[in-house]
Amino acid sequence: MNSKIVSAALAACAAVWGAAPASAARQFTKLGDIKVDTKRGAPMIEIEVNGKTGLMALDTAAFNTMLTRSGADALGIPRGDKLNNFQVFGSDGKEIQTTVRTLTDVVLGSTFRVKQLPVLILPQTGGSDVVGSIGVDILAASDIEFDLANGNIALFTSKGCGKDSLAYWTDRYSTAALKRTDDYKIITTVALNGRPLMAQISSSRSNSIVDQSAAAGAGVKPGDAGVEMLGSAGGAARQVWTGSFESFAVGEEQIKNVRLPFADLWGRMVSSSTGSNVRTKFENMPAMLLGLDFLRAHRVLIANSQGKMYFSYNGGPILAKPTETGAIKP
């Protein structure tokens, strides 16, 4: 991760959000709301810049906010500066050439204003009105509430709250600890057949999915009775399976006899350093991705200020029935 981009993004966030007043001992202050459209099967947020608008997919699994080249053109954003000492690789393992640009006076979700927003510009083009994706760089400096059932994301600052509950909307909730990472991924610990796994919130996936090695560690693997192949992602080399697990738990919330898709999630994800041709797998990657199915079924507060996730059940399936199109999205 490029430290200059991280610093610029967080500085931009601080400039927009500021600090809560110091007068009260305990403060949990809403900074603003971002309207979200989930009708397309993925959370979409409207972006307005230069008097022009487009849609951005919310991707909590990505740090950087990104625009496609065609999306930047549609918003009237010129080509950015080439990044040095920073490399981006796609799911096929090939390097993607990127540039960076800082946008000014951006409006997100019709109401939330950002004074400065650094974005990566990727070379991809397309005819869609989706111009790019929003990563957690916009959200990382705050506590984040996902209320997708009501089409809303809210941002908060917290001061002096200690261990007090921040689940202000209910007294019936579950909690799970968050793992702090350098790139602000939303990581928590889940249990699959009683085995603890590191899981990441990934709003860009319709279905939650488990890494194949973690599924095997929980006793489920290709060839076992009841295990079926759903299809392939990124070519035949990346097969996706579905199997039944005796139990799955997030914090105090537990599901019995759950069916989940699994695949080799990170086998082709590699990195390399500038000046070196040696490419290695990323380390400490999550063993599970909690997708949009989990976020739809819950109201979720990511309390970065406390290192804790609060969530309450909205209704419906917590983990959606695996489907070929939902499970194998690259």
| CB-based contact 326:192 (threshold 8 Å) | no
Helix (H, G, I), strand (E, B) or coil at 97: coil
Helix (H, G, I), strand (E, B) or coil at 70: helix
Single-letter amino acid code for the residue at 313: Y
Structure tokens at 195: 């085995």
Tell me the pairing of strands 270-271 and 280-281: antiparallel
Which candidate, 71, 86, 63, 159, places its Cα nearest to that of 121?
71
pLDDT in tens, the chain (330 residues): 333 333 343 343 433 333 434 444 778 999 999 999 988 778 999 999 989 999 999 999 888 899 998 999 999 998 766 655 555 655 555 666 778 889 999 999 988 999 989 898 988 776 678 999 999 888 877 999 999 999 999 999 998 888 899 999 999 999 999 998 877 789 999 999 999 999 999 998 888 999 999 999 999 999 999 999 988 765 445 789 999 999 999 998 999 999 999 999 887 554 444 444 443 445 678 999 999 999 999 999 999 999 999 999 998 888 887 764 444 443
Q: What is the pTM of this model?
A: 0.81
What was the pLDDT predicted at 293?
92
| CB-based contact 174:228 (threshold 8 Å) | no
- Residues 122 and 135: their CA atoms lie apart, in Å, by 14
| CB-based contact 20:159 (threshold 8 Å) | yes
Single-letter amino acid code for the residue at 93: G
- Could you give the count of Cα atoms lying within 13 Å of 314 in the half-sphere of its Cβ? 17
- Residues 245 and 231: their CA atoms lie apart, in Å, by 20
- Residues 8 and 64: their CA atoms lie apart, in Å, by 11
- Residues 178 and 189: their CA atoms lie apart, in Å, by 7
- Residues 222 and 242: their CA atoms lie apart, in Å, by 9
What was the pLDDT predicted at 279?
39
- Residues 56 and 54: their CA atoms lie apart, in Å, by 7
Helix (H) or strand (E) holding 215: helix 212-217
